[in-house]
Chains A and B, each alone.
Chain A
Amino acid sequence: MTENGVRLLPVDENAWRLEAYLRRGGYETARKVLTTMTPAAVVAEVRKAAIRGRGGAGFPAGMKWGFVPQGGAGPKYLCVNADEAEPGTFKDRLVLLRAPHQLLEGMLITAFAVGIRSAFIYVRGEYAQVSRRLEEAIAEARTAGFVGPAVFGTDLGLDVVVHHGAGAYICGEETALLESLEGRRGQPRVKPPFPAVVGLFRSPTVINNVETIATVPQIMAKGADWFLGRGLAKDGGTRLYCVSGAVRRPGAYELAVGTPLREIIDVHAGGTPEGRSIKAVIPGGLSAPVLMPGELDVAMDVDSLSRACSMLGSAGIIVIPEGTSMLEVLHATARFYAHESCGKCTPCRIGTAWILKIVERLRSGGGGGADLDLILRLAEGIKGRTLCPLGEAAALPIHALVTKFRGELERTVTR
């Protein structure tokens, strides 16, 4: 979809450079915002656009910005969450590779709106290649004066530091990200206080996903109403839907929020390869409960998927074909969360490990239906009891797999 030529990801893979971005009108929106608008007006517009965070939690960005106390003598920080690690998700990689200046322009506008002078981009450690491109873009922007002191001759100066993670999915959780940025183990903090008030180095901090910030220039360029109109649901705009698994054209597709799942799979990703049919679809990254073939007409927006007892999450769509062993999918899922649990809180630390042990025993032929009941019971013991959403991220998909594929799992394990 390329309405009005406004895209997040340029079609040309080499159009990431500053000069190409400038030719597309890059940084003009930031200039307009910084030189003619008030911060409050920017926050109001972003609020009106109702853009939901594109990281996984889906919290409205404008509302989050509004929680930062105004004024105050100390520093405020912007942290861009580029710790993309939700299995099935690769859109932030593409934004960083193909639209880094869009991200930087979004960061400028965000910093202006909230009174921030210092930004960190937390890039997952495995994105080394990606990060090199990002650093080049920042250097370009610095040379051109878009990053650094007195941008556009205003009193907004913005420092940008790229920080690399080192292999921890949990660092995508905002308070664990802050801990990691402060040089510690990536373990989530108790909330309240929330990062908007006590965040990085104890200062008010805004944390937003890469794609969310990179979408801000669009909103300010064309206005909240335009943005709302681009979506099919009450959440505005377009967003990047990742598709992988058994499809002809895996990739990221920039589509209206609320596009039906079936359309994304069949029309944009080319449907399943010849002769294969869909067994199940994970709609929003591994943490999203699996959907059955009959549930694929759901609109891909936060509320619709919530009503379907799943979630939009990171919009990482994984298409699982017939012939796949769901025990293997269950194993990969249980193994992932047991590996990524940070270990701080009891239910997740022990529950994810316990579930994995049971699944591994089932895989080597030592179990039965009662074990599946126990897995469900343990998932219940984790859900709603943990310090951070990784608990739900583990419990909900495991619960869905065991419930929706109970028959197959029972047959497999009792053979």
Chain B
Amino acid sequence: MNGGKPVCLTIDGLKVQAYEGTNVLRAAEQAGIAIPHFCFHPGLEVEGSCRMCLVEIEGLPKLELSCSTVVRDGMVVRTSTDRVREARKDVLEFLLAEHPLDCPICPKAGECRLQDYYDSHGLYASRMVEARERRAKKLSIGRGLLLDRERCVLCTRCVRFLQQVTGTGELGIFERAVRSEVGIFDGAPVDNNYSGNLVDICPVGAITAEDFRFKTRAWFLARRPSVCPHCGRGCAVVIESVEGYPLRRSEKRVYRVTARENPAVNGFWICDLGRDGRHDIDDGRHIAVSKKDAPVQGLPWPEALAGVAAAIRSVPGPERAGKIGVVLNARLTCEELALAKSLFVTGLGLRKIYFAGRKPGPADGLLLTAERMPNDKGVLAAGFTPRLPSLGELAGAEVLLVFGPYLLDHFGEDAIARALAGIPAKYLFAAHAGPLDRLVDAVFPVAVPAEKSGTYINTEGVRQSFAPAVKPCPGVAAEGAILACLANTLGIAVGETDAR
């Protein structure tokens, strides 16, 4: 937390300014100097047990922990002297002495602190010839998490996270001395909506996710930032994907969604709902325009939208307001919503503009909001007054454009079918295959938020812009591009967009 007063200190000869109350490790980090550490985490209380972050502080005889030493005016810190490097090597040697040579089969390889620090501290041979402690290597601890006690370095980040952040405290440290081990109580596994963070924060391969083990390698992953669309919080995330090698040339897959730090939104964590949301990116996707169940491969968008434009044009101008219905959703970005307003309200003069979305769920008191759409505030900011339509209101339309599958969250499939049956021209713009597909004249494949660029406004009013984190399949377009193309086809000017 920032204290008010700035403090000036010197780290490795560099003059650094930090707020009072900051620890030396964070102050160094902010100045671009990385001090190796395992147990420290800025989102958790200081533990001081790994002893890796020891530094020299002028005037003090012993090496001091940079994680627990608070900055003071005039302090002089040295993070790279021989004495400090010697201490780090010793801590590493201790840890490696009781660590299995699992790198070839460990999912943490490539993003493991032990590996990284060993690499930068000399790649020396271990002097340990005694038998290592043997421990359980594949303990199920809940929520698809596996614990390997041989790899564990007892940094206690996992235990502290569950005590200090979620307050659920499922993990503990049992036994004593070198026999110490992480564990759960019988029948009381990890069971909360933040369990995935344990894998993120484990500095080694002790806690791993069953659905990531043996699937890929960390060094194949492209890591790109995005914003989670699964609730109104808009947590900062990293989408980790592979495109091409080692998959087939045209294949791509998202393997993981991890937390990205954003002090204004989600701090250091994301919830499991958001993590599981990665399936949303790859699974069950529409990849081609389909007309009444006959996919039309590779049709250029203007041609694909020609039918929609024709249907709209077929309704005489003065009647459009009453006869053309549009169902939008709050997964559209602010830019897309502005486009939709320009096209449908300003351009076409439509009045039957509705919104459907995921129904609210229980907020969990931490990050997950009751709202389960990412841009409700964006909808309001765009000047819409969002309203769910009644099926009767939809049934009376002659042309209906539905963006997203969310009518299903509010009405039964049969009821929707009946309502849509009498509409002469009805089109669905959706990312995933679903029951609405067979009820419309054509389905247009749209991008998911991870494939788009745009802005969301979260429930607290924080605006977050993001760029595409994964490439969509060819043939899939963002709603923004679709709306711009449609406007173009209709000859309506809607201003600057990144139309394709």
| Inter-chain contacts of B91 with A (CB < 8 A) | 346-347, 385
The listed residue (A185, A343, A361, A380) touching B178 by CB distance below 8 A is A343
Q: Does B280 contact A (CB under 8 A)?
A: no
Whole-angstrom CA separation of A387 from B91 in the bound complex:
13
A334 to chain B, nearest CB (A): 12
| Inter-chain contacts of A386 with B (CB < 8 A) | 51
Q: Which residues 90-121 of B sit at the A interface, judged by CB distance below 8 A?
A: 90-91, 93-95, 97-98
| Inter-chain contacts of A340 with B (CB < 8 A) | 177
Residue pair B51, A343 in contact (C-beta under 8 Å): no
Interface string of B167-188 (1 = CB under 8 A from A): 0000001011111100000000
Q: Does A162 contact B (CB under 8 A)?
A: no
Whole-angstrom CA separation of A354 from B65 in the bound complex:
24
Residue pair A339, B177 in contact (C-beta under 8 Å): yes
Whole-angstrom CA separation of A75 from B98 in the bound complex:
44
Whole-angstrom CA separation of A298 from B326 in the bound complex:
95
Residue pair A352, B51 in contact (C-beta under 8 Å): no
B99 to chain A, nearest CB (A): 10
Q: Which residues 335-393 of A sit at the B interface, judged by CB distance below 8 A?
A: 338-347, 349-354, 357-358, 361, 374, 377, 380-381, 384-387
Residue pair B177, A352 in contact (C-beta under 8 Å): yes
Residue pair B130, A357 in contact (C-beta under 8 Å): yes
CB within 8 Å for A346 and B62 given contacts A185-B173, A385-B54 = no
The listed residue (A343, A347, A380) touching B176 by CB distance below 8 A is A343
In the complex, residue of chain A having the shortest beta-carbon distance to the beta carbon of B179 = A343
Residue pair A349, B97 in contact (C-beta under 8 Å): no
| Inter-chain contacts of B95 with A (CB < 8 A) | 346, 350
Q: Which residues 182-213 of A sit at the B interface, judged by CB distance below 8 A?
A: 185, 190
A69 to chain B, nearest CB (A): 19
| Inter-chain contacts of B154 with A (CB < 8 A) | 343-344, 346, 349
Q: Does B48 contact A (CB under 8 A)?
A: yes
Residue pair A374, B50 in contact (C-beta under 8 Å): no
CB within 8 Å for A345 and B173 given contacts A353-B178, A357-B131 = no
The listed residue (A185, A350, A385) touching B63 by CB distance below 8 A is A385
Residue pair B176, A341 in contact (C-beta under 8 Å): yes
In the complex, residue of chain A having the shortest beta-carbon distance to the beta carbon of B153 = A346
Whole-angstrom CA separation of A147 from B50 in the bound complex:
44
Q: Which residues 305-351 of A sit at the B interface, judged by CB distance below 8 A?
A: 338-347, 349-351
Question: How many B residues are at the interface, by size bracket?
Answer: 20 to 34
The listed residue (B47, B131, B133, B177) touching A190 by CB distance below 8 A is B47
Residue pair A343, B93 in contact (C-beta under 8 Å): no
Q: Does B46 contact A (CB under 8 A)?
A: yes
A386 to chain B, nearest CB (A): 7
In the complex, residue of chain A having the shortest beta-carbon distance to the beta carbon of B133 = A353
Residue pair B63, A190 in contact (C-beta under 8 Å): no
Whole-angstrom CA separation of A59 from B93 in the bound complex:
34
Q: Does B128 contact A (CB under 8 A)?
A: yes
Residue pair B180, A343 in contact (C-beta under 8 Å): yes
A307 to chain B, nearest CB (A): 17
Whole-angstrom CA separation of A385 from B51 in the bound complex:
7
In the complex, residue of chain A having the shortest beta-carbon distance to the beta carbon of B132 = A357
Whole-angstrom CA separation of A351 from B87 in the bound complex:
13
Q: Does B465 contact A (CB under 8 A)?
A: no
The listed residue (B94, B98, B131, B179) touching A347 by CB distance below 8 A is B94
| Inter-chain contacts of A347 with B (CB < 8 A) | 51, 90-91, 94
Q: Does B127 contact A (CB under 8 A)?
A: yes
| Inter-chain contacts of B98 with A (CB < 8 A) | 350, 353
The listed residue (B48, B52, B63, B180) touching A349 by CB distance below 8 A is B180
| Inter-chain contacts of B130 with A (CB < 8 A) | 354, 357-358, 361
Q: Does B390 contact A (CB under 8 A)?
A: no
The listed residue (A190, A349, A374, A380) touching B46 by CB distance below 8 A is A190
Residue pair A351, B94 in contact (C-beta under 8 Å): yes
B358 to chain A, nearest CB (A): 43
In the complex, residue of chain A having the shortest beta-carbon distance to the beta carbon of B46 = A190
| Inter-chain contacts of A345 with B (CB < 8 A) | 48-51
Whole-angstrom CA separation of A234 from B299 in the bound complex:
97
A36 to chain B, nearest CB (A): 43
Whole-angstrom CA separation of A109 from B314 in the bound complex:
99
Residue pair A381, B94 in contact (C-beta under 8 Å): yes
Whole-angstrom CA separation of A386 from B48 in the bound complex:
9
| Inter-chain contacts of B178 with A (CB < 8 A) | 338, 341, 343, 349-350, 352-353
Whole-angstrom CA separation of A351 from B127 in the bound complex:
12
Q: Does B68 contact A (CB under 8 A)?
A: yes
Whole-angstrom CA separation of A185 from B48 in the bound complex:
16
> Chain A CB within 10 Å — which of B65, B153, B175, B178 has the most?
B178
Whole-angstrom CA separation of A385 from B68 in the bound complex:
14
Whole-angstrom CA separation of A188 from B173 in the bound complex:
15
> Chain B CB within 10 Å — which of A185, A343, A351 has the most?
A343
Whole-angstrom CA separation of A350 from B46 in the bound complex:
21
In the complex, residue of chain A having the shortest beta-carbon distance to the beta carbon of B69 = A192
In the complex, residue of chain A having the shortest beta-carbon distance to the beta carbon of B155 = A346
Residue pair A387, B49 in contact (C-beta under 8 Å): yes
CB within 8 Å for A385 and B90 given contacts A343-B179, A349-B178 = yes
Whole-angstrom CA separation of A342 from B128 in the bound complex:
22
| Inter-chain contacts of A342 with B (CB < 8 A) | 176-177
Residue pair B49, A346 in contact (C-beta under 8 Å): yes
| Inter-chain contacts of A387 with B (CB < 8 A) | 48-49, 51
Q: Which residues 39-58 of B sit at the A interface, judged by CB distance below 8 A?
A: 46-52, 54
Q: Which residues 173-219 of B sit at the A interface, judged by CB distance below 8 A?
A: 173, 175-180
Residue pair B62, A384 in contact (C-beta under 8 Å): yes
Interface string of B46-86 (1 = CB under 8 A from A): 11111110100000001101001000000000000000000
Whole-angstrom CA separation of A349 from B152 in the bound complex:
13
Whole-angstrom CA separation of A72 from B49 in the bound complex:
32
Interface string of A105-120 (1 = CB under 8 A from B): 0000000000000000
Q: Which residues 271-321 of B sit at the A interface, judged by CB distance below 8 A?
A: none
A111 to chain B, nearest CB (A): 31
CB within 8 Å for A346 and B46 given contacts A339-B177, A354-B130, A357-B131 = no
In the complex, residue of chain A having the shortest beta-carbon distance to the beta carbon of B131 = A357
Residue pair A346, B63 in contact (C-beta under 8 Å): no
| Inter-chain contacts of B47 with A (CB < 8 A) | 190
B223 to chain A, nearest CB (A): 30
In the complex, residue of chain B having the shortest beta-carbon distance to the beta carbon of A355 = B130
| Inter-chain contacts of B48 with A (CB < 8 A) | 190, 345, 387
The 3 closest A-B pairs by CB, nearest first: A343-B180, A353-B178, A357-B130
Chain B contact residues, CB within 8 Å of chain A: 46-52, 54, 62-63, 65, 68, 87, 90-91, 93-95, 97-98, 127-128, 130-131, 133, 153-154, 173, 175-180
Contacts A342-B177, A349-B178, A353-B98 known; list 12 others, CB within 8 Å: A190-B65, A343-B154, A343-B176, A343-B177, A346-B52, A347-B91, A349-B154, A353-B133, A353-B177, A354-B94, A354-B97, A377-B127
Chain A contact residues, CB within 8 Å of chain B: 168, 185, 190, 338-347, 349-354, 357-358, 361, 374, 377, 380-381, 384-387
19 CB-based A-B contacts, threshold 8 Å: A190-B48, A190-B65, A341-B176, A343-B154, A343-B173, A343-B175, A343-B180, A345-B48, A345-B51, A346-B52, A346-B153, A347-B90, A349-B94, A350-B95, A357-B131, A381-B90, A385-B54, A385-B63, A387-B49
